[in-house]
Amino acid sequence: MSLLKKISLNNYLLLFIIAVAATIRFWDYSSMQFMHDELSAVIRSQANSFSELIYKTKTTDVHPVGVPIFVHYWTKIFGTNEMIVKLPFVLFGLISIYYSYKIAEKWFNPTVAIFTCAFLATLQFPTMYGQLERPYATGMLFSVLMVWCWTQFFSCLSGRQSSENSKNKYAIGFVLFASLCTYNHYFSLLFAGLVGATGLFFLTKENWKKYLLMCTAVILLFIPHISILLFHLSIGSGGEETWIGKPQPDWLITFLKYLFHYSIYVYAVVGILFLASFYFRSKEKKVFDKMRIVALVWAILVPCLAYFYSITKTPVLQFSTFTFSLPFLLMFIFSFYAELKTPIKIGALVLIILVNTYTLFAERKHNSLFYKHPYEEMAIVSNNAIKNFGEKNVFVGLSAINGFVDFYFERHGKFSYLNVDGSDIKKFIAELEKVSSDYFVAGNLNPEFVQVVKEKYPYIVSKDEGFTFSIYCFSKKKPANEKKENIVFSETQNIYKTRFWEKNYMKQDSCMYLDSTQEYSAGFSTYLYEILNTRHSILNVSAEIDTKNDPSLNPTLVLSIDDGKESIVWRGYEYSWYSKQPGEKTMVYVSHLFSGLDMKKHPYAHLKVYVWNRDKKKILVKNLKVEVVESNPVIYGLYEPVE
């Protein structure tokens, strides 16, 4: 009983917050699958030697080697099951909440600390990144531990000098955790540098020598990694640029929308709490209190540096850039509060938890989206089809990195599959010609490849969709429970339909003859808003092209989108890629997924579809068709609004 009496109400509230955070993170824990980056890291960590591990990490992942080394030895001892691999990262995330409380309480007061930790416990951003086997939960933990030691070393808020032994303890802690930051992630390295530089403003004649020695020790401990850092800088605009676009000017607003669940309810709670803080403002602290300024600078400076680097050199800015400074962003938002009376504080805490957890599960659909990922789902769907229809009657074609689907063979059963090269449709068509099975499982194939499959397998038995994946099971024969795709627009070129179609060169209802005088066919033309319901749609274009037995001809089916004079998309698929025999009649396809197109930025984007008669010879174009199919609405749902 004496121990319970010593525990303050605020500590009980903190324990309650951590319990809520643990419940959210461990809920249905056994169902979590590896994301692409996690699975890549686990496979990469299975090295035969330390030098091989460092080489593989250095050349295949643009991150420091700290977390890969940890994962290598952790999986070597405990195995590669998701529950085991993710466990330390989830625990690190929970410990981060505790130390965020300690910092906010020391810098400001328990109310600020409670509000900060309530959001860390229940928002999707820290929840998701706290469940990933990646350098985010570790980075947040190392960052707050570093800042806690930094704070204690300077004793900048208490006004009391700690004992020399205590100073030494926190000095060693700062060096240790700052060094761990430098080996964890390059943005946690930058954050450690920012914290170290901030300390220069708190130097006194009593502590300056020791503090400079501490910073020097961190730099010296990073020396073994400098060659790897220089190598990663030298590859510059390599892999990252292929999938991370340059950030838009409103990137910070977009992040804040994402952080607060794209939800009017969370916006309202944050807005009300922020405005109320001026009514309940601490009279002891000035508006420009030094620690409030520190919290704001620490919250946004590293992401700002990432933004300018992204627009001037290589795109690197992602939402995850905020992971290491997120606690300080939340501290700043609530930093104006004085210590509140207990009923008000508890009421606000309950409101935060109820609204955030409701929107996390009901609006953001966190578990259903985050717990399922492409590679295990490919294994599950493929094995289900094999069990239902027989192994000899099912052909599996997957777009997967070598070894990624194979990782799940031991769990779900081994099967043979074609690993589809998404850049070589001609090779895929040749492989498809050899297939005689009645069923075809297509996992994450490009839309053009799916159109080719539908020629031979026109019926859908099943369709599984989730974050970054769509997996079909197609059939030659119509199943009893056929799945239908939602076609929102479909038209084939016809002389009597003139709203979207040009009449030029029309000889019959749906035929066009082109010759040496006609480099471009008549085509389809419209504004996108006229044919799209949502941006989560696929535009499928097809045409039967006959080169009149001339094997040298290679016309191209073109899909182009522009906004005034600005070209947004240009996709051209050549006749030769699809033709099984040069000179024969061939169906040619081109598709485009609109999820990556910012319709708000381009409200009047204009679509044009036509055949490019690049050789200016006689060709026949029949049945030029434009179709819009409603696609996976949650393909990017972990980061975008869920529609």
In this structure, what token pair is assigned to residue 298?
A: 């620490």
Residue 172 clears pLDDT 60, i.e. is over it: yes
* Residues 331 and 608 sit within 8 Å (Cβ to Cβ): no
What is the number of alpha carbons within 13 Å of residue 20 lying toward its C-beta? 24
Task: Write the CATH number of the domain with boundaries 374-475.
Answer: 3.40.190
pTM here is 0.92
Listed in sequence order, the DSSP H helices in 260-414 are 264-279, 290-312, 326-333, 342-358, 366-370, 374-389, 409-412
- CATH no., domain 487-630: 2.60.120.260
Q: How many helices (H) and strands (E) does the chain have?
A: 24, 15
Average pLDDT over residues 133-157: 92
Of 166, 181, 157, 180, nearest in space to 295 by CA: 157
**pLDDT reported for residue 238:** 46
Q: What is the mean pLDDT of residues 261-284?
A: 94
Using alpha carbons only, what angle is made at residue 540 by residues 639 and 621, rounded to the nearest 5 degrees? 160
Please, are residues 297 and 331 in contact by the beta-carbon 8 Å criterion? no
In DSSP terms, 466 is beta-bridged to 469
Residues 186-221: tens digit of each pLDDT:
999 999 999 999 999 999 998 999 999 999 999 999
Q: Mean pLDDT score of the chain, rounded to an integer?
A: 91
Question: What pLDDT does 513 receive?
Answer: 86
**How do residues 43-60 score in pLDDT, each as one tens digit?**
999 888 999 999 999 988
8 Å CB contact between 588 and 613: no
Q: What's the angle, vertex CA 173, arms to CA 57 and CA 147, rounded to 5?
A: 85
CB-count exposure of residue 66 (10 Å: 0-12, 13-18, 19+):
buried
Separation CA 627–CA 605 (nearest Å) = 17
- Give, rounded to a whole angstrom, the gap between the first and last alpha carbons of the chain: 51
Q: Cα(573)–Cα(577) distance, rounded to whole angstroms?
A: 7
Two structure tokens written together for 232: 């990663």
Report which of 105, 114, 101, 215 is spatially closest to residue 158, judged by C-alpha positions.
105
Burial class (CB in 10 A: 0-12, 13-18, 19+), 189: buried
Q: Which residue has the tokens 């328990």?
A: 110
- Residue 18 CA to residue 188 CA, distance in Å, equals 24
C-alpha distance from residue 520 to each of 558, 566, 617 (Å): 10, 20, 11
The whole-number pLDDT of residue 599 equals: 79
Across 48-52, 85-89, 127-131, 244-248, least confident range? 244-248
Taking a C-beta distance cutoff of 8 angstroms, is the pair 445, 469 a contact?
no
pLDDT of residue 597: 80
DSSP string, 434-470: T---SEEEEES--HHHHHHHHHH--EEEEEEEETTEE
Helix, coil or strand: residue 102: helix
Q: Which two tokens stand for residue 507?
A: 């000889």
Say if CB 568 and CB 602 are below 8 A apart. yes
Give the pLDDT confidence of 605-620 residue by residue, as tens digits.
999 999 999 999 999 9
Q: How would you write 598-640 as a 3-class SS string?
A: CCCCCCCCEEEEEEECCCCCCEEEEEEEEEEEECCCCCCCCCC
Q: Is the pLDDT of residue 562 over 70?
A: yes
Torsion from C-alpha of 7, 13, 15, 20, nearest 10 degrees: 170
Q: Is 218 exposed, middle or buried (0-12, 13-18, 19+ CB in 10 A)?
A: buried
| Segments making up each domain of the chain, as ranges | 7-136+225-368, 374-475, 487-630
Asked if residues 365 and 634 have their Cβ atoms less than 8 Å apart, the reply is yes
In this predicted structure, what is the pLDDT of residue 282?
Answer: 82
Tokens 């680097």 belong to residue: 309
